[in-house]
């Protein structure tokens, strides 16, 4: 793997030559190639030539004062290579790469909204995060917007323009899913244009519950930020905390003790189990199978009990801290956890039979919302959505963190690419998670469960990636040598997966929209941050 990366870096060097300004390190062991403005697109082309399956993981903007640094984090050969470039604030323009990587669409629109960079050639340069009536030339993540002047800078008129409204006389009827009615109990909006029962167009709009968490992180200490990022999403809070902490630990050069890494693995897999079970039950509800919903959620309760045993909390566990975990696992709890997991494993075989054999369930999920492998790669989807389309990617295996490099497990993939395959991936992953936890409990090393770290973090930059239940979770942290981070960037899995929903819903049936949608396991609390 490292040899391959060196070859890629050499190819970049050969192709761009003196347009590479410098090479800097992003912890841990990542490379950022800084290029001239305008050369970034050529760099992306080189990367795509080296690995046709390369995709965008995130685009990070950083305010450098008079300039803005843009970093394209390209996922390639299971790792990340970052292409960085700098534009001036006065002329913040750069060429779009969406024509090369369609999955970059949302990322570019987001940076455009929050940093004010214009991506020339972007196919749909509309607002993504900010409300329609947000004042011009106010960009929240720039440093000139502060807590003190935020109110005066952002006087919102309240007269909202709805660009997705269908004009009168058109044949297509406008059907809205969300954000203000019960057909979609999530604060996001998808305008569907339907012809009879067939969906012709889908226009997503996110940002209704954007809480400015990245901005808020810049005015809190690292320890306070753990509390903050845990509440990005209640369901996968352990993943957010772990990802943030290990990114900060990478800047500090801290080595987490082995016992702590095992305990982190346990809590991460418990997170995955209960997240997947929540989703599978919800999938039943969305296709009118309420009994499945009740059964699955009933069987999820013991998982929450295990989390309570381990951490004292059932959902938002507040278990992870910088340098390790906050509590140790008592020996007597291990047998309880093992008993609960063994019981759950038996139940999962019942559910597997149900998902494989129930005729009405199959009629509603088979060949519904099909996402081909090629489209999955182009749109840069992550997690079970990608694995359900035959894309074999998993951060736990590709770049092991916590204790994953010491624990054997299988990565579950299906090739069908339909809603059923995506649900089956999660079903299989629950069993694998149980196996991982059992292995971790059996091989739990002794020793300290945390080390104390200083409040001040030395200057540096780091990237962290974690396989959350919904897919790859990406963090970028830049420190400036104080107790407050310079920049915290969060890219959640659903943010990467929403463009795929547009792809799979168009051409389908209205009734299939909830089934397709739920199979993506969307989490808008995550998405909006």
Partner 1 sequence: MSFDLDFLFRVLIFPGFTFILFFTMFCDWVERKIEARMQNRMGPTYTGPFGVFQPFADFVKLLTKEDIVPFNVKNFAFKFTPIFSFSIFVFSFVFLPIDGANIIFNSNFEGDLIIVLTLVSIANFFIFLSGWSSMNPYSAIGATRVLTQFLGYDIPLFILALAPAFLAKSLSFSVIAANQNVPFVFMIPWAFVLFIITLQAELEKDPFDVPHAETEIVGGYETEYTGRRLAFLKLAKDVQIVLGAAIVVELFLGGPYGPTFYGPSAFWYTLWFTLKLLAVVALTEYLKCVFARLRIDQVLVVNWKVLLPLAFISLAAAVGVSLWFNLLR
Task: Confirm or reject binding of residue 369 to partner 1 (CB under 8 A).
Answer: no
DSSP 367-415: TSS---HHHHHHTT--THHHHTTT----HHHHS--TTGGGS--PPP--S
List 155, 343, 360, 374, residue binding partner 1 (CB under 8 A):
360
Task: Confirm or reject binding of residue 285 to partner 1 (CB under 8 A).
Answer: yes
List 126, 163, 211, 298, residue binding partner 1 (CB under 8 A):
298
Task: Confirm or reject binding of residue 294 to partner 1 (CB under 8 A).
Answer: yes
Task: Confirm or reject binding of residue 181 to partner 1 (CB under 8 A).
Answer: yes
Task: Confirm or reject binding of residue 367 to partner 1 (CB under 8 A).
Answer: no
How many Cβ atoms are within 10 Å of 151's Cβ, its own excluded?
8
**How many CA atoms, within 13 angstroms, populate the side-chain half-sphere of residue 247?**
30
Handedness of CA 426, 272, 406, 444 (dihedral sign): negative
Q: Which one, 358 or 506, has the nearer CB to partner 1?
A: 358
List 281, 428, 493, 514, residue binding partner 1 (CB under 8 A):
514
Distance (Å, rounded) from C-alpha 176 to C-alpha 184?
Answer: 9
CB of 285 to partner 1, least distance (A): 7
Instruction: Give the x-and-dash track for 151-180 against partner 1 (CB under 8 A).
Output: ----------------------xxx-----
Task: Confirm or reject binding of residue 183 to partner 1 (CB under 8 A).
Answer: yes
Task: Confirm or reject binding of residue 289 to partner 1 (CB under 8 A).
Answer: yes
List 72, 295, 351, 414, residue binding partner 1 (CB under 8 A):
295
Task: Confirm or reject binding of residue 366 to partner 1 (CB under 8 A).
Answer: no
Task: Confirm or reject binding of residue 104 to partner 1 (CB under 8 A).
Answer: no
Distance (Å, rounded) from C-alpha 54 to C-alpha 362?
Answer: 33
Give, rounded to a whole angstrom, the gap between the first and last alpha carbons of the chain: 33
Task: Confirm or reject binding of residue 291 to partner 1 (CB under 8 A).
Answer: yes
Query: And the tokens for 523?
Result: 């989490």
DSSP 101-170: -GGGHHHHHHHHHHH--EEET-S----SSS-TTPPTT--TTSTT--TTTHHHHT--------TTPPPTT-
List 99, 197, 356, 415, residue binding partner 1 (CB under 8 A):
197
CB of 424 to partner 1, least distance (A): 16
CB 385 within 8 A of CB 337: no
- The region of 72-80, 279-287, 339-347, 401-409 touching partner 1 under the rule CB under 8 A is 279-287
Query: And the tokens for 457?
Result: 């973090």
Binding site for partner 1 (CB under 8 A): 173-175, 181-183, 194, 197, 284-295, 298, 358, 360-361, 363-364, 509-514
């Amino acid at each position: 793997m490292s040899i391959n990366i060196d070859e890629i870096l050499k190819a970049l060097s050969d192709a761009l030559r003196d347009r590479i300004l410098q090479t800097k390190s992003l912890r841990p062991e990542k490379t950022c190639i800084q290029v001239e403005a305008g050369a970034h697109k050529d760099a992306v082309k080189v990367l795509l030539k080296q690995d046709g399956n390369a995709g965008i993981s995130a685009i990070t903007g950083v305010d450098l004062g008079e300039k803005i640094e843009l970093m394209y984090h390209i996922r390639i050969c299971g790792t990340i290579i970052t292409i960085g470039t700098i534009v001036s604030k006065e002329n913040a323009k750069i060429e779009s790469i969406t024509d090369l990587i369609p999955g970059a669409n949302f990322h570019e629109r987001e940076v455009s909204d929050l940093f004010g960079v214009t991506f020339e050639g972007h196919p749909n340069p509309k607002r993504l995060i900010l409300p329609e009536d947000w004042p011009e030339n106010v960009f929240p993540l720039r440093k000139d917007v502060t807590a003190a002047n935020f109110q005066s800078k952002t006087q919102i008129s309240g007269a909202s323009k709805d660009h997705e409204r269908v004009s009168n006389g058109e044949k297509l009827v406008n059907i809205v899913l969300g954000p203000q009615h019960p057909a979609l109990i999530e604060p996001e909006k998808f305008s569907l244009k339907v012809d009879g029962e067939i969906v012709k167009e889908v226009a997503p709009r996110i940002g209704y519950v954007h809480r400015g968490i990245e901005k808020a992180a810049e005015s809190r200490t690292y320890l306070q930020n753990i509390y903050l990022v845990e509440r990005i999403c209640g369901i996968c809070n352990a993943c957010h905390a772990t990802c943030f902490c290990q990114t900060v630990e990478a800047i500090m050069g801290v080595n987490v003790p082995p016992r702590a890494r095992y305990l982190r693995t346990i809590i991460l897999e418990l997170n995955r189990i209960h997240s997947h079970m929540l989703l599978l039950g919800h999938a039943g509800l969305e296709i009118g199978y309420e009994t499945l919903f009740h059964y699955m959620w009933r069987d999820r309760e013991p998982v929450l009990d295990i989390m309570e045993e381990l951490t004292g909390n059932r959902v938002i566990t507040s278990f992870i801290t910088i340098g390790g975990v906050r509590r140790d696992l008592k020996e007597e709890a291990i047998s309880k956890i093992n008993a609960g997991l063994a019981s759950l494993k038996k139940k999962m075989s019942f559910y597997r039979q149900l998902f494989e054999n129930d005729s009405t369930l199959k009629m509603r999920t088979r060949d519904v919302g099909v996402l081909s492998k090629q489209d999955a790669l182009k749109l840069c989807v992550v997690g079970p959505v990608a694995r359900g389309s035959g894309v074999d990617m998993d951060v736990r295996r590709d770049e092991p963190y916590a204790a994953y490099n010491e624990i054997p497990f299988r990565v579950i993939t299906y090739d069908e690419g339909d809603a059923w395959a995506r649900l089956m991936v999660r079903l299989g992953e629950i069993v694998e998670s149980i196996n991982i936890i059992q292995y971790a409990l059996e091989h739990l090393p002794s020793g300290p469960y945390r080390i104390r770290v200083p409040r001040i973090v030395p200057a540096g930059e780091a990237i962290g990636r974690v396989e959350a239940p919904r897919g790859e979770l990406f963090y970028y942290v830049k420190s400036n040598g104080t107790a407050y981070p310079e920049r915290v960037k969060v890219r959640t899995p659903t943010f990467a997966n929403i463009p795929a929903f547009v792809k799979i819903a168009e051409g389908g049936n209205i009734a299939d929209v909830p089934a397709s949608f739920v199979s993506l396991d969307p989490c808008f609390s995550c998405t909006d941050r």
